Amino acid sequence: MPFQFHPLAIPDVILVEPQRFGDSRGFFMETYQFETFAANGITPRFVQDNHSRSARGVLRGLHYQKEPVAQGKLLKVVIGEIFDVAVDIRRGSPTFGQWVSEILSAENGRLLYVPPGFAHGFCVLSETADLVYKTSDYYHPASETGIIWNDPEIGVVWPLTNPLLSARDQALPPLAEADFNFQF
């Protein structure tokens, strides 16, 4: 099988490990196959691909789009390394307000599926990092919002203390004041 699927501590967030075939010339690997992913719990029809580049110490997040244009994301790093975080913001969920994280890198080739109803963020651990990701809905600026990265109620243990943040990310509210309408 070209993929291994590992539900994380919050089982709707799924780590995907593709099989890599390599030799001295380089490598080849499949990174997405609809039927295999759907059979393993990743069912959205992805409609948009995005590419983000960030420098060491940059932290982006915690972002989400509100319903009805919430996005699921299938994330992969193609250059560098990131610490990637998903926070459950589905009211009524037994894991509401909890977070999971994974290291994604060009070297390990892992993908992370973050479904709708989760806030997503990452920080860059390498000199630069290029993150490519598929989304299950189109980008809709009026629906985009987020939660402050260092909200003590969530308690993400980031591997850096003074991240480089956008002005928008610095002004995001804590979870208790955030605007979202996700239900479990």
Pick the catalytic residue from 64, 133, 138, 140.
133
What is the distance between the terminal CA atoms of the chain, rounded to a whole angstrom?
31
Does residue 140 have an active-site annotation?
no
Pick the catalytic residue from 63, 64, 113, 120.
63
The structure tokens 């967030």 sit at: 13
Encoded tokens for 180? 């979202």
- CA-to-CA distance for 76 and 110, rounded, in angstroms? 7
Encoded tokens for 50? 């995005």
Q: Extract the runs of DSSP E, i.e. beta strands, from 47-143.
A: 48-55, 59-65, 73-79, 81-88, 99-105, 111-114, 118-124, 128-135
Does residue 63 have an active-site annotation?
yes
The structure tokens 């193609």 sit at: 78
What letter does residue 127 receive in the DSSP assignment?
S
Q: Report which of 55, 71, 76, 53 is spatially closest to residue 133, judged by C-alpha positions.
A: 76
- CA-to-CA distance for 34 and 63, rounded, in angstroms? 25
Catalytic center residues: 63, 133
